[in-house]
Structure formats: C-alpha cells, structure tokens
Amino acid sequence: MKILVPVKRVVDYNVKVRVKADGSGVETANVKMSMNPFDEIAVEEAVRLKEKGVAEEVVVVSMGVSQCQETIRTALAMGGDRGILVETDDELEPLAVAKMLKGLAEKESPDMVILGKQAIDDDANQTGQMFAALMGWGQGTFASEVDIQDGSIQVTREIDGGAETVKLKLPAVVTTDLRLNEPRYAKLPNIMKAKKKQLDTLSPADLGVDTTPRLKTVKVAEPPKRQGGIKVADVAELVDKLKNEAKVI
Amino acid sequence: MKSIHFAEEHEQLRTQVARFIDKEVRPAAPAWEEEGMVPREVLQSMGEMGLLGIRYPDAFGGSNAGPLSTVVFAEECGKSGFGGFSATVLVHTDMASPHLVHAGNREQLDRYLGPIIRGEQITAVAITEPDAGSDVAGLRTRARREGDSYVLNGSKMFITNGVHADVYFVAARTNPEAKGASGISMFIVEKDAPGFNVGRQLQKTGWLCSDTAELVFDECRIPAENLLGEENKGFYSVMQNFQNERLVLAAMALGECERGLEVTWDYVRGRKAFGGVLSDKQGIRQRLAMLEARVNAAQQFLYHVGWLMEEDIECTKDVSMLKALCGELVNEVMYTCQQFHGGMGYIQESEIERMVRDARIHSIGGGATEVMLEEVAKRSLQ
Ligand SMILES: Cc1cc2nc3c(=O)[nH]c(=O)nc-3n(C[C@H](O)[C@H](O)[C@H](O)COP(=O)(O)OP(=O)(O)OC[C@H]3O[C@@H](n4cnc5c(N)ncnc54)[C@H](O)[C@@H]3O)c2cc1C
Ligand SMILES: Cc1cc2nc3c(=O)[nH]c(=O)nc-3n(C[C@H](O)[C@H](O)[C@H](O)COP(=O)(O)OP(=O)(O)OC[C@H]3O[C@@H](n4cnc5c(N)ncnc54)[C@H](O)[C@@H]3O)c2cc1C
C-alpha cells in the first residue's frame, strides 16, 4: 500500500512563543521551527508500516513557505521515500490544506493518509476530518493504535473516558494521538541520504485550490499573567472561597 | 539561526542532537555526575544515531560530513550544560579516534573503526604526562621494539575516558636519542594489554561525569602492528589533530556560554528584588546583553574557522586565537552568570553552579590560553 503523510512546519515546542507587538500574530522571525510533533508520530507510524512490509511507499507532503522543505527532509531522513511541497506564502487555513490534500490524493491515490490530530501552533484539529469529508473516506481520529488488515484498518481511538476501536475500509484517514508511538531520531547518515531523495514542488494553483483565508484574525494577545496566590486562615475559608468566589464547587 | 555557513542538513543535525540531549542527557546526567561516568548505553545510542562517525567514511558507518557538522554537534553537546558528558563524547569522536582515522592502515581501520562509530568501543588519547603537558615534545614514555612487539614504559596523566575506555591512542618516544619533537610515535593500546594499568581515577573540580585517569605502562607489550602511522613521526600527527580538537573545544565552550546565558536570563527575569525583578536593573541586563554580544561574535568566528577547515585552508593561527578566546570567554560568562544568581549560584542544585565548575578547564585543557596565544604571537611577529 501507499501512505501519504502531511507534515506541518510549526514553531518548535521548546520556544516560548511571543506575540508580535502589533497583535497580528505570533513572532516567527528568527524563531526555531520544527515538524509538528503529532506529524512526527504520523511519519513514524508510516515508516514502521513500511518496515513491516505492510506499506511499499511513504510520500511526505507539506504546504507553505519554501522552508517547509526542511520539514519534509526531516521526514525523509526518518524513512519517507519522497516528498512533495505545495509552495505558497499565503496563510493556510485547515480547509485550504484539506482541499490541497484532496488534489494530491487524486494525483497520488494513496491507500491511507495519516497525519497529526492537530498542529501545536493553531491547535485547530480540523484538517484530517475535513479532508476525510471531502474525499468521502472513513476516518479514525486520535489514534493510539493502528492495525492494518486485509483491505481495512483497525484504529483504537482515544476518547473521553477510554478507548474506542473502529474499523475502516481503505482508503482511509488516520489522525495521530500522542500515545501511538515514540518517533525515532533521524540518524545522521539518513539525513545525508535524504538530501538526494526526490522532492517535487507544486503550487496551490496546480491543484486548483484557492487558498484565500475564510477567517479574519482580529487580534492575538498573550494569556493573562498568573496572579499571585493568597493564604487562607482555615478550611472553612477555603471552602467558602471555592464556592462563592471561584465558583468551582 | 540563519547563517551563510549552514545548510539544511546542519540544522537537522542540530535539531536531532538537541532533542536527544533534552530527552536522554539532561534528565539523567545528574546521576552520572554522582557515578563519575557516562553509561555506555548512552554512547551506543549516540552511535546508532550516527553521531560518533560524523566525519568518517560511510564504508564504516560514518556520514562523510565536514567540520561544520562537528561544530554543530559540539555546540549542542555544550548546551547540555554537562561538561563531563561533552568531554566523554567529544574526546571519543574528535580527539582520540581521529588519530586512528588519519594515520591508521586498512587492517587497523577494519579492526577498530566500526565498533568506534557504533559506540561499542570507546577511545581515549594519552599524550599528557606528569612531567609533560603544554610541552608535548617533552614527553618521556618509552616504546622499544622487541621482535614483533613494542614494549611501553612510563605514565600518562589526566587522560579523559582513561578509566573506562577500550582503546587508547598513546604517544611514546621510539627514538630516545632524538630530542624534542622527532622520535615520537603513536600506538594503539587495548585495555587488556599486559602491563597496562589504570593507575587511579582522578577527582576533579568539574566534569564529574567524565572519568579521568592516570595510566601506567609497566613493560606493556603490544603487537608491532599497533604502531599508528610512521615510526618517529607521531608528533606531527598529534599537532595536526590538535587543530580539530581546538575547534571542537571552542564550539563546546560557546554552547556552554549559550546555555549559561539562557539559564541566567531566565533566572533574573523571575527573581524578585527591590520592588521589581533583577532583570529590571540596567546594571544586570546590560552586562548580560554585552556578554551575549560577545558570545555571538565568537560564534561567527567559530563558524568562519569551521568553514576554513571545511575548505582545507591552513588556519593554525585562527584556531589558536579561537581556542584562547573561547576558553577565556566561557569563564567570564559563567562567572557573571553565577554572580547574578546570587547565593543560589553557589548551591549545587542550581545548574549554573555546575557550569561554573565545568567551565574552568576550558582555559587549561587541550591547549592552555597562554600556549594558544604563543601560537598566535609567533605568527604575528613573523
Ligand atoms: C580534566 C582534564 C582532562 C584532560 N584530558 C586529557 C586527555 O584526554 N589526553 C591528554 O593527553 N591530556 C589530557 N589533559 C591534559 C591537558 O591537555 C593538559 O592539562 C594541558 O595541556 C596543560 O598541561 P599541564 O597540565 O601539564 O600544564 P603545564 O603545561 O604545566 O602548564 C601550567 C601553566 O603554565 C602555562 N604555560 C605553559 N607553558 C607556557 C609558556 N610557554 N608561556 C606561558 N605560560 C605557559 C600554561 O598555560 C598553564 O597555565 C586533560 C587535563 C584535564 C585537567
Ligand atoms: C554559602 C552561603 C552562606 C550564607 N550564609 C548566610 C547566613 O548565615 N545568614 C544569612 O542571613 N544569609 C546568608 N547567606 C545569604 C547571602 O548573604 C545572600 O546570598 C546574599 O546577600 C545575596 O542575596 P541573594 O542570594 O538573595 O541574591 P540576590 O539579592 O537575588 O542578588 C542576585 C544578584 O543580583 C545582584 N543585584 C541585586 N540587587 C541589585 C541591584 N539593585 N542592582 C544591581 N545588581 C543587583 C546581586 O549583586 C547579585 O549578583 C549565605 C549565602 C550563601 C551562598
């Protein structure tokens, strides 16, 4: 089978994100960028399926600025076979990404598309679902276990209060949760080899997609600073405050 | 972040090393400091990631990368904040094993290089002696030829990885008549060679998770084929390897500077005093800002020297300047960072306290500042 893995370039999880002075977004100039950690899990799962002989080809795709190539190369260093960059400087919303994925899925005809359940920058948690809907494919979101059987996938999903197991007909969409696997380190020899792997570049227009945002960002602001705590005299006062001030009990 | 010197693969390498250090080194290393060594499994994991053969031929499992990749690797090791970890790894990769790779013949490479790159065999380099440090040409350990053996006598001092290494690259005098630099040869000594002993593990100020030993050779017999390179020409290969060693130590020092400043900016931003936080004080923030400026400037110099090496351009003077500069700068940075931690900087539970101790060796080891400056001055006066 053939697996398509979309990966997103995001501000590195270690970076303390700062809001731009004009409130238009977060500062990304001179900030370390990496692959969205949930997408790393998706790459890992696809590569494992390839190593098990279940998959023949793992195609990695990213959408965005030309530097997204670095993100694709990292995935190739982890074991992806080739990459596709859909290059654009536009801000991309989940719907636009899902539409471009549809265009790519029609070109590439993968049996499975596996991607992160959300990206750690905008936390939208929409792309996988929208893409599945556009394709009319089954979806197994928040996967903590993926088991490929003849012509179908069994996905264990993390849901409120436990795990749910669904069976999907191929082709299908899987979105990854944290417990699915522990992504490997890209080995240096593979980083060097990944430089030579095929990486094609397309534009949104090649896929017939208009990426114009449907939403307008009004303002981006820092969360309020944490207030200092207070000391209470006794349990009675604590209970009173929790009940009447914080209104949590 | 962006630099004319670095390509995508350098950034990827940086990211992978940083991630490894974040997950596998920082949380575990306090225990290593107590035990006095870095567990061998950690080195093997680094071997699996390809980090122990960055510049070595791919036929042996290496990656054929260049000096700038080493620079990235050493900087990231430095950023771990555990000098002893960095020393253990970088002595293996960039100070000891290069002796084998530069001078070794086919049989020697076949026998040792694979396990070295995989981290299965850890290496040490033994040049310094109790009576010969900066003055390398003054070394007195003897090696005499006897049939198809060499027999070594003498002792070596301050040898990193000395207690737990498997393979040692040892400098010894093969021609006792020859004075100074000529008459020195390099040998491969395996841990179990008869007459080879780890004299004692040395207790240091810093680098606590790096094992440092005095080595004793008492009629130590090794096969004649363990001669590394040409007989009596060892001094020149030692000098040649010093260039890379110094580049790597400078990179490690600057990685430490970066971490020290990061930790200190964080500390002064949170520490309350005089109705605000310490970072409100211009006396503090401007001094840290100036140190950061100097570290950034030194970094660009580092990258430039790395590039000169990448291009195979002779740069002994530049490397010597760089080593002197960074060995001193890291001490200045740590002194000030500790100062702005107040009393906490003197307490072992603060990261900066260890980093101060670890920094001290940078102006002494691997070419002391004074000796480096002599290398510079000689050339300036030419
Ligand atoms: C923790 C640690 C790890 C080490 N690891 C290794 C290792 O793995 N392998 C190895 O071979 N060695 C190792 N060394 C040895 C290290 O390289 C030497 O300590 C260093 O070269 C200095 O030599 P020395 O200690 O003999 O000092 P000396 O040479 O005695 O120097 C003492 C002082 O005199 C100064 N000085 C010397 N000559 C001059 C001059 N001409 N003009 C002005 N000042 C001068 C020096 O700068 C220094 O400040 C290690 C040392 C330490 C402390
Ligand atoms: C080993 C040890 C023993 C000690 N013993 C005792 C003891 O027996 N009894 C006791 O009461 N205390 C004791 N102390 C505490 C010691 O006196 C304090 O650590 C010292 O006064 C500094 O205070 P601090 O640690 O809170 O640092 P901070 O006040 O947080 O200062 C941190 C740094 O900021 C600088 N700084 C502070 N304010 C300004 C400013 N306005 N402008 C510019 N720079 C500024 C300081 O100079 C310092 O470099 C001890 C400390 C140690 C480490």
**Domain with B348 in it: what CATH number?**
1.20.140.10
- Domain range for B176: 124-231
Last residue of a domain, one of B122, B145, B178: B122
The angle subtended at Cα A10 by Cα A6 and Cα A16, nearest 5°, is 155
Cα(B355) to centroid(ligand 1), Å: 20
The torsion angles phi and psi of B299, rounded to 5 degrees, stand at -60, -45
A60 vs B: CB within 8 A? no
Question: Within a domain: residue B247?
Answer: yes
Look-up of token digits 């200190």: B264
Q: How many structural domains is chain A composed of? A: 1
Residues B8, A30: C-beta atoms closer than 8 Å: no
- The pTM score is 0.92
Residues B142 and B116 in one domain: no
Q: What is the reported pLDDT for B1?
A: 59
Question: Model confidence at B104, in pLDDT bands (50, 70, 90)?
Answer: very high
Question: Within a domain: residue B3?
Answer: no
- Asked whether residue B2 carries a pLDDT value surpassing 80, the answer given is no
Last residue of a domain, one of B181, B215, B231: B231
Residues B264 and B202 in one domain: no
Residues B245 and B364 in one domain: yes
Mean pLDDT of A137-163: 94
Q: What is the CATH number of the domain that holds B71?
A: 1.10.540.10
Q: What is the CATH number of the domain that holds A175?
A: 3.40.50.620
**Using CA atoms, how far apart are residues B315 and B244, in angstroms rounded to an integer?**
11
* Beta carbons within 8 Å of B376's beta carbon, 6+ residues apart: B317, B320, B321, B324
Mean pLDDT of B151-161: 98
Which residues in chain B are contacts of A77 at CB distance < 8 A?
12
Question: Within a domain: residue B1?
Answer: no
Question: Model confidence at B198, in pLDDT bands (50, 70, 90)?
Answer: very high
Last residue of a domain, one of B122, B149, B183: B122
Residues B270 and B337 in one domain: yes
Known catalytic residue: B351? no
Residues A188, B16: C-beta atoms closer than 8 Å: yes
Amino acid at position B182, single letter: S
Q: What is the CATH number of the domain that holds B132?
A: 2.40.110.10
Residues B256 and B200 in one domain: no
Question: Within a domain: residue A120?
Answer: yes
Q: What is the reported pLDDT for A182?
A: 96
Question: Within a domain: residue B161?
Answer: yes
CB burial of A22-49 (b: ≥16 within 10 Å; e: otherwise) equals: eeeeeebeeeebbbbbbbbbbbbbbbbb
Residues B359 and B260 in one domain: yes
Residue of A nearest to B1 (CA): A30
- Domain range for A162: 2-244
Residues B12, A185: C-beta atoms closer than 8 Å: no
Beta-ladder partners of A145: A156
Question: Within a domain: residue A249?
Answer: no
Interface with A, mutate which of B6, B15, B46 (most A CBs under 10 A): B15
Interface confidence (ipTM) of the complex: 0.87
Residues B172 and B197 in one domain: yes
Residues B88 and B188 in one domain: no
Contact B16, B72 (CB under 8 A): no
Mean pLDDT of B275-286: 97
Residues B241 and B376 in one domain: yes
Cα(B100) to centroid(ligand 1), Å: 23
Residues B270 and B342 in one domain: yes
- Asked whether residue B327 carries a pLDDT value surpassing 80, the answer given is yes
User: Percent of chain B having pLDDT more than 70?
Assistant: 100
Residues B135 and B95 in one domain: no
Q: How many structural domains is chain B composed of? A: 3
Residues B194 and B295 in one domain: no
Question: Within a domain: residue B288?
Answer: yes
Ligand 2 pocket, Cβ-based, cut-off 6 angstroms: B 271, 273-274, 278, 281, 283-284, 339-340, 342-344, 346
